[in-house]
Amino acid sequence: MSLSHIQTKFASISRSRAQHPEGRPRLRADNIPLAYGYPFPGSFPIDQLISSTSRALEREGTRALQYGGGPSVRDLRALLTRRLKGRGMNVADHQVMVTTGSNQAIDLIAKLFLEKGDRVLVEGPTFFAALRIFESYETEIYGMPLDSQGLDTDYLAEWLEKERVAGKLSPKLFYAIPNYQNPTGTTLPVCRREKFLALASEYDFIILEDDAYGELYFDSPPPPTLRSMDTEGRVVYTSTFSKIVAPGVRLGWAVGVPEVIAGMAALKTDGGTGPLAQAIVYHYCEGNSLDERIAWLRMQYRERWGAMREALIDHMPHDAAFTEPQGGFFTWLTIPGVDTSATYKEAVESGVTYVEGRSFFPDDRGQESMRLCFSYCDGALIKEGIKRLAEVVKKHKG
């Protein structure tokens, strides 16, 4: 597709991603979005956030509006440190950094460690925004396969050894989402976590553990985080308020050894993570039970997944396969013989959207798969969306 005049002046890395402003097909007014991983709007605690905004401004006055912010910037970090301890991560406050969403944490970690030509490993498939971040540092990205239990650590071990024997450069960093992975919804069992950490130690790479969904399990908590099992300080951990409070607050956090957090701080040139947002979220957490809210969210998402699962069984072709998440927002649907990029336009015309499997790989895989998200629509809409989608898919199966 030809670029507009101004797009031809973009830096080469941005030019390769630029799309003509015409963009994607128009959505129907009654479109059912099973595409993006948004929390459902009814989950946002509006009234409580209004009162916490007032409390933040009454108690901290102009300090909450100044560069650097007031006391709640420090207090929010301390609150996070306490919550991390509750999940087995014994860290000091100076090992935690609050960032503008966990996307910024991923970007800062990439900036700290990665340079042109470095080898980065990811789960194949993985969170597309992280792929874009690693690409922007001109790294070589390799997608390691997953099965129903997440990362295939046996495959990883063989791959690492083969590369070593071939004299290839060791990977510097592995970006992983062990809990309710985006996009597959899979969770890594504890024995694979142990093996993964042992491989990181043997082949000397950093693990960037993204735990955006770890607290949103349906029935029982996931295994311990890699960060809590790490005895060498090689796991840098990130998570976010986006899924447990609201994405609009744009607050996430990173946890690592002091050198890593200090290194990230030195690269953080944005004038500081929004102090007003930090004050609001701190006062929200102080005045309300975040744990109760999270328990309620778990029930909501479990119900929505139940609706999607039922509809997939009822409507999809018999050879279609989907993952069985135990938490989070996503399932990964694979339909043999159907190219999900080719069906996208028709799905949009039928009033349903999903994310094409290809978007989640650093290479050309994922053609017959798609990510479906059950966090945004209610059960009835999800069922209707899957019905619409199944009709499109069945036409393409011939």
Ligand X SMILES: Cc1ncc(COP(=O)(O)O)c(C=O)c1O
CB of residue 373 to ligand X, shortest distance in Å? 9
- According to CB under 6 A, which one of 70, 252, 256, 327 is a site residue for ligand X? 252
Q: Is residue 55 helix, strand or coil?
A: helix
User: Per-residue contact track with ligand X, 40 to 79, x per CB under 6 A?
Assistant: ----------------------------------------
Give how far Cα 50 sits from Cα of 28, 62, 304, 382, Å.
Answer: 33, 18, 28, 30
Half-sphere exposure (Cβ direction) of 143: Cα atoms closer than 13 Å: 21
Angle in degrees, CA 42, 35, 361, rounded to 5:
135
Angle in degrees, CA 18, 19, 21, rounded to 5:
125
- According to CB under 6 A, which one of 153, 242, 350, 353 is a site residue for ligand X? 242
| Cis peptide leading into residue 125 (ω within 30°) | yes
CB of residue 102 to ligand X, shortest distance in Å? 4
CB of residue 103 to ligand X, shortest distance in Å? 3
- CA pair distance 342, 319, nearest whole angstrom: 19
Q: Is 210 in the site for ligand X (CB under 6 A)?
A: yes
Pick from 374, 346, 337, 342: nearest CA to 356: 342
Residue nearest to ligand X (CB): 101
Q: Which is nearer to ligand X, 203 or 218 (CB)?
A: 218
CB of residue 107 to ligand X, shortest distance in Å? 9
CB of residue 65 to ligand X, shortest distance in Å? 23
Q: Is 212 in the site for ligand X (CB under 6 A)?
A: yes
Q: Is 37 in the site for ligand X (CB under 6 A)?
A: yes
- CA pair distance 350, 343, nearest whole angstrom: 10
Residue type, 238: T
CB of residue 62 to ligand X, shortest distance in Å? 28
CB of residue 392 to ligand X, shortest distance in Å? 25
Q: Is 177 in the site for ligand X (CB under 6 A)?
A: yes
- According to CB under 6 A, which one of 60, 91, 113, 127 is a site residue for ligand X? 127
Task: Give the helix, strand, coil percentages of the chain, each rounded to 5.
Answer: 45, 15, 40
Q: Is 182 in the site for ligand X (CB under 6 A)?
A: yes
- CA pair distance 282, 12, nearest whole angstrom: 41
Q: Is 322 in the site for ligand X (CB under 6 A)?
A: no
Give how far Cα 138 sits from Cα of 52, 114, 115, 209, 255, Å.
Answer: 42, 9, 7, 21, 25
Q: Which is nearer to ligand X, 95 or 126 (CB)?
A: 126
CB 173 within 8 A of CB 256: no
CB of residue 360 to ligand X, shortest distance in Å? 11
Q: Which is nearer to ligand X, 144 or 338 (CB)?
A: 144
> Which of positions 74-103 make contact with ligand X (CB under 6 A)?
101-103
Q: Which residues bind ligand X (CB under 6 A)?
A: 37, 101-103, 127, 177, 182, 210, 212, 240, 242, 247, 252
